[in-house]
Structure 1
């Protein structure tokens, strides 16, 4: 099976209407010797902030000299980037070999028991398999959607984390913060420490109730640990962090006020991990270097200086609010040109309502080539009814900076992470 055949084969298992449940994952992994049970797992869920929190945590653990596996989704640059150990993506040849192994299970004598298996389940199983065979010290697993019935939720973690709760995938997870919180809290395990981020009270109450029922110790934002913003500088955010075991001033390598919350949660996860595993807490200077050096593609990422262009994967109302807060903080006196699109399960109208509030902004809608993308007709209708622009995203990216353009203009490409993956690939190809 070559690279193209691999992608074509696994794409056959992609579906917009998966049958949720863990039974298939349990059966599939059992046939591979239960690799997920051989790992020390840190399991991270939440609506937004998962990727950035994991990036901070991964960097800190690596600075301790550990071998750290990370499973994240979706990928932004290359298919193999979803599965990595210490910055190194799974080799294509290794991925192809593992896919051949799983194909033999899915299409062989066990096909009937495993029918309905999805693309995400296969890639999750491969991640567990790869990390176990490579004997990583710790595997950080990012929840794909929800938590309770997500395919990552077959592990027995040593630590869990829930970053934020917002309205997202409401057709699948529920249309209230409480309902979504209940799904996210499905990753909480009996007696396993839970770290939570800045979560709204009504959602946190649900999470706390479930954690208490499972006797899971809680380390909550604002209670067990605090962060305080000091200043925004050109390369990141400066903040103070305080907990019972660590105090200090740190600087993020990621832009955006919300990143101090993600970094603070990662610091708390780091120290909880050390306590759970009997490791000595790393000194502040080591941790500070890791926090400052953290980068994460597609999270308020500056990809061009002239014209000034930023990619940000704000794919739900909660993330849009965080994006707007950062734009108001850093680009209040800039003219803003925003290119936006989303997939069809997202709250299009709610996100447009938020984006239209931003002063001195020209908003353009677009569609990208993906079966999950919102239909072009719906996007054109939204653009027409709101008097917005509609344009192909390639044309938007290719337009030259006008000679008479305001000096302070920033272009923001935002929305679906699947969309940003295509944009990033296009920009890299154009650059080369």
Structure 2
């Protein structure tokens, strides 16, 4: 049993991250040991290559402002581990988190004795979130998939709504090397006679519709072309004769907001559109083109799909400004390929490091490398004026480190 939260978190994070699996048998059996009754809780399941977090926060905000208690399970965190498990956008308290980790430590030991099998980090964290939301009697659970969908630890429940944001090339080792293969894995969250909402691009519509038909499920495809941008700053869009003012910057956020809006309209059909639209004005989500200080922005783009969307946003938002990139990424994200995408829009690119066990030095990929991230930022600031833009990006873990320890 842990008496110290840091020790407890270190134990959780030291567990096998995602173990290879052909089924969800182990986590299903462990879940049964917990004797949780989640039948009174409405459940929303969200996957997609990017945008899961933004959609989760939009849905959470709208449900909260309708008077519901909402548990949200997201990953990864930006600054503090507690952010992964939230109720009404408040991260779990240190005391509650310590108690919860002690509970899942005991669960892991019990399951190990019964099955001679261990549970992974994400399996344990998923079960912890389910238990916490049960203990707190939430009305809704908004659950983000970790990786993929079909064999993700979160996929052991029947959800009231399944949500797929988009499909891009990420986690190819686990999910497949084509968009179609990745889409099939993500479509694994849709159950027999389920309900699916998605903003997936047109090239995958047939696959989605055919899958839904086979499962006798209802599918709601939101046409991105029906969402018209009026302005980028402030971020205002039109959809179905309604005007939406969105606090989150980035061209990709319009799809995330409207997707969330349609999900909540389905769940709460009697709620006035104007009330939901007003709620969307109050959404906050750190690390997504977030203006953290003066002319410094951070964005957690960490794969090709997200980097492309970020670059499109930079072109539109900062078309008359010089943009300087401070970049770092984890080794498994092909950082050499990702950073090259900024060459046509950046005045300067600096590469740096940050403390993470999965980080490998990026000092030989052809860009100016300053190992100390604080010195790297200071160097860029010495070369820029207040009218320029400094964008810190490449990894959610990196921007979280920069925000917590340097900015």
Contact 1:57 1:270 in 2 (8 A): yes
Residues 347-366 of structure 1 aligned to structure 2 (within 5 Å): 347-358=334-345, 360-366=346-352
d(CA) in 2 for partners of 1:205 and 1:372? 38
d(CA) in 1 for partners of 2:394 and 2:148? 19
Please tell me whether residue 215 in structure 1 is matched to residue 216 in structure 2. yes
Aligned to 1:381: 364
Name the CA shift for 1:129/1:302 in 2 (closer, same or farther; >3 Å): same
d(CA) in 2 for partners of 1:122 and 1:371? 21
Contact 1:166 1:318 in 2 (8 A): yes
1:279-336 deviation per Cα after TM superposition (whole angstroms, max 9, x unaligned): x22341x22221111110100000011xx10010011111111111111111122121
Residues 392-407 of structure 1 aligned to structure 2 (within 5 Å): 392-399=372-379, 401-402=381-382, 405-407=384-386
Aligned to 2:26: 24
Match of 1:281 among 271, 288, 307: 271
Q: More deviation in 406-415 or 259-268?
A: 406-415
Q: 1:120 Cα shift? A: 1.2
Please tell me whether residue 425 in structure 1 is matched to residue 396 in structure 2. no
d(CA) in 1 for partners of 2:116 and 2:165? 32
Secondary structure of the structure 1 residue equivalent to 2:343: helix
Secondary structure of the structure 2 residue equivalent to 1:41: strand
Name the CA shift for 1:83/1:16 in 2 (closer, same or farther; >3 Å): closer
d(CA) in 2 for partners of 1:109 and 1:151? 16
1:359-392 deviation per Cα after TM superposition (whole angstroms, max 9, x unaligned): x42112222211222x11xx22213xxx444443
Contact 2:323 2:390 in 1 (8 A): yes
TM-score (norm 1): 0.88
Match of 1:323 among 295, 299, 310: 310
Residues 18-417 of structure 1 aligned to structure 2 (within 5 Å): 18-19=20-21, 21-36=23-38, 39-108=41-110, 110-111=112-113, 113=115, 115-197=117-199, 199-222=200-223, 226-233=226-233, 236-242=234-240, 247-275=241-269, 280-284=270-274, 286-305=275-294, 308-358=295-345, 360-373=346-359, 375-376=360-361, 379-383=362-366, 387-399=367-379, 401-402=381-382, 405-417=384-396
Q: 1:155 Cα shift? A: 1.2
d(CA) in 2 for partners of 1:127 and 1:228? 37
* Aligned-residue RMSD, C-alpha: 2.0
Q: More deviation in 288-297 or 27-36?
A: 27-36
Q: 1:53 Cα shift? A: 1.2
Name the CA shift for 1:238/1:7 in 2 (closer, same or farther; >3 Å): same
Unmatched segments (≥5 aa) in structure 2: none
d(CA) in 1 for partners of 2:151 and 2:18? 16
TM-score (norm 2): 0.94
Secondary structure of the structure 2 residue equivalent to 1:183: helix
Q: 1:222 Cα shift? A: 1.3
Name the CA shift for 1:405/1:89 in 2 (closer, same or farther; >3 Å): closer
Q: More deviation in 200-209 or 323-332?
A: 200-209
